[in-house]
Structure 1
Amino acid sequence: MTRVIHVAVGVVRRRDGKILIARRPDHVHMGGRWEFPGGKVEKGESVQQALSRELHEEVAIEVIELTPLVEIRHEYPEKTVLLDTWQVTAFSGEAAGQEGQETAWVAVQELDHFQFPDANQAIIEAIKAAEPL
């Protein structure tokens, strides 16, 4: 049985509708690809607590308001990831990579121009489905 890694993922939106993405370091699994910021849920933490902690550590923002978006289970050969994905609709601070990673604010329709890990494709579809017509 492969191990399951529970990850809190944030789809951080600015008032102009653009979404924050960050480039994964080259030396990690799926290195060089873009992702939505977040990280592992630690023992004793709620998903919301983990996401708030990770967004503070990774991109220097404080979460004010968040709502659930989608939960995705994705099987890789060496592990399974459970991506607990939330939309961050209000935050304070100026987002900037705190761990040396490149970040960008992109429009929803621009997400397809970036290479994401396979597990993130369902997040992109959920973002598009949640967009007003």
Structure 2
Amino acid sequence: MDTKVNYIDVAVGVILRDQKTYVCLRPTDKHQGGKWEFPGGKIEAGEAAELALARELMEEVAITVTQAQPLTTIEHDYGDKCVRLFVFAVTGFDGEPTGAEGQSGKWLPLADIDIADFPAANREIIEQLRTTFR
């Protein structure tokens, strides 16, 4: 019996400016659809998380990352899939975030983040934001 868990590795960018973070609305036809999320995407085989972050944020929200620090790594089992999130605080970028793939996006004050509006795997990110960036 194989008990090895196959994780989907994802680079996640917590884009920060003026006590706000930029979030995107997941399409309703996707896993965890209809929830807000921090932008990012799958890490390709052999790709470093930092490079995946830069690539995904350019693709998804049309920004060029100029400064990012690792924030945390989270493993979460949704039951139907397991994800490993490599989370970065993005504090420097060129451009203005926008839904480059047609998704809705907005700047959300850190004080207004509601954990219920995000996928369960994001709970730890939100808790860390509340303690780190007050």
Structure-1-length-normalised TM-score: 0.94
Measure how far apart 1:113 and its partner are.
7.1
The Cα shift of 1:3 comes to: 2.2
C-alpha separation in 2, matches of 1:25 and 1:53: 20
Q: CA RMSD in A?
A: 1.2
State the match for 1:44 in structure 2: 46
Distance (whole Å) between structure 1 residues aligned to residue 95 and residue 87 of structure 2: 21
Matched, 1:54 2:48: no
Letter in 1 for 2:131: A
- Structure 1's consecutive aligned runs of 4 or more residues displaced over 4 angstroms after TM superposition are none
How many residues are paired up? Answer: 131
For 1:62, the aligned partner's letter is: T
Aligned-pair CA distance for 1:28? 0.4
- Listed one character per residue, the Cα deviations across residues 5-24 of structure 1 (whole Å, up to 9, x for unaligned) are 0110000012x121000000
The two structures have a TM-score, normalised by structure 2, of 0.93
Is the 1:12–1:89 contact (alpha carbons within 8 Å) kept by the matching residues of 2? yes
1:24-78: per-residue Cα shift (whole Å, max 9, x none)?
0010000010000000110121100000000000000000000011111101111
Unpaired stretches in structure 2, ≥5 consecutive residues: none
Contact map agreement 2:20 2:109 (CA 8 A) in 1: yes
The percent identity for this pair of structures is 47
